Amino acid sequence: MITVDQLLLKIVNFTAPTIEEIMPSRDSKVLRSLATTILGPRFITENQSRLLLKIFKEHQPKFKEFQEELELVLEAPTWSKLFRPVDTTKKLYISNASDGTPLLTIEFAFSSALRKTLTASTKKLDGLIQVTPGRVYQADLTEKNIVSLVEMLSPLAFEIEEKIQEFHETIKSWSENEIKNQFLLTTITNTNFQKQITADLGINTPLDNNIINDRSKRYNYFTEKSEKNPENLTEKIAQRSNVKCWVNKKEITLDQLIQSVSELKRFPLLVVFDVYDPKKCLEEMKNLEVSLENNRIYNDVGIYFRLDNNPIGKEFNQLIADKGYNAQLDSNTKVVGVQSGKIPKFLLKTDWKPMSVISIGNPLRHSKTAVYANCCDLIIAYTDNEPIIETRNEWL
């Protein structure tokens, strides 16, 4: 007796007439697709078998050359192989990156609905990336991500690793006010904290509200929320909610931005240039020169890259030479300039670290420069348009 799948192969290979000539294209495409799957190593699923029988039944009168065989298979369908098991994988677990860093891993059988759910949650999850298209995603192992993912995926019948469930229960048991009160600036008694602040700012630096608010990200403490809205750029930067932020290049001059960095005692400064357009890079370099001088910064500047030796590149390189922006990197260097995507090796071998980062014209993302900049608690994307990949605050 002929099986359903064997009959399907006979029908799709029949040429007088072809299946495209006797049925709608949607159904003929399904039959050819199922025939291809049957010939492959994995066979079809049970749901696909039901679809195949449904199409046969709907178009039975049109298969005149196969009427007898169709009646038999529709009355008592049999198959030459076992159906392929449906992949129902839905897992949330902890795995390690290549460098050993623990990550939250979301793995599931391909599902456009689940993919849309995760894509829509990009702004809620820190460090969410797609590892395998449509199947495996990873995110940073943080308290925020644990709570978000467990509460998002539990109703979707995900298998969640026991350790993550325990973390979730512990985190949810915390009292937000109780935890925050331990880290209020007015309640911190740890002497190491006082030493770090003094080493950062110097013992003679007055701690105004802007500096106190600004350093809260660096030293992980909370401040009493002010009812007063920020009135200027310095206050807005100081009260930022994230380490990474956006400053609108069309509204704020580089002069103003560097002035705010200075007011917040945020030197040394790392400036990242986009060299994709050399002409624009030269303009940005000239703009930086004027902005530094307007803020009384004339020395201890090192621009550690050069452009190609063409007219624009020569002018760029000569500007650096004329202004003495080729200072050897040491603890006194106030401003360092690098190109996006590259970091000089000597920068990694010294103790010099930026207190703030300004990326001009291009947000830092997925590059060696971005990884290096992560050591800093103030990373500013100074661009014409707000970056759409990461959550940022707009400051005008």
**298-302: average pLDDT:** 94
- DSSP for 340-354, please give it: TT---HHHHTSS---
Assign 273 to helix, strand or coil: strand
pLDDT at residue 193, rounded to an integer: 63
C-alpha to C-alpha distance for 217 and 196, rounded to whole angstroms: 13
What percentage of residues in the chain have a pLDDT greater than 90?
A: 55
Q: For 301-340, how does the pLDDT look when each residue is reduced to its tens digit (9 = 90+)?
A: 999 999 998 999 999 999 999 999 999 999 899 999 999 9
**Structural contact between residues 297 and 335, judged by C-beta atoms closer than 8 angstroms:** yes
Q: For 333-385, how does the pLDDT look when each residue is reduced to its tens digit (9 = 90+)?
A: 999 999 998 999 999 889 899 999 999 988 887 788 988 988 899 999 999 88
Distances (CA, A) of 70 to 17, 53, 75, 77, 83: 17, 10, 8, 10, 20
Distances (CA, A) of 330 to 301, 327, 335, 337: 10, 9, 11, 14
pLDDT at residue 322, rounded to an integer: 94
Q: Where are the domains of the chain?
A: 4-75, 90-173, 175-228, 240-395
Instruction: Identify the CATH number of the domain defined by range 240-395.
Output: 3.40.50
Structure tokens, 273: 């240039």
Please report which confidence band the pLDDT of residue 393 belongs to, taking 50, 70 and 90 as the band edges: very low
Q: For 249-291, how does the pLDDT look when each residue is reduced to its tens digit (9 = 90+)?
A: 999 999 999 999 999 999 999 999 998 899 999 999 999 999 9
> Which residues on neighbouring strands pair with residue 246, listed in sequence order?
381, 394
pLDDT over 50 at 394, yes or no: no
pLDDT over 80 at 74, yes or no: yes
pLDDT at residue 203, rounded to an integer: 55
pLDDT over 90 at 199, yes or no: no
302 backbone dihedrals φ, ψ, rounded to 5°: -125, 115
**Pick from 67, 114, 49, 383: which is nearest to 249 by CA?**
383
Domain 90-173 has CATH 3.40.630: no
> pTM of the entire structure?
0.59
Question: How many helices (H) and strands (E) would you count in the chain?
Answer: 18, 12
Q: For 79-134, how does the pLDDT look when each residue is reduced to its tens digit (9 = 90+)?
A: 999 998 877 889 999 999 887 889 999 999 877 888 888 888 887 888 888 888 87
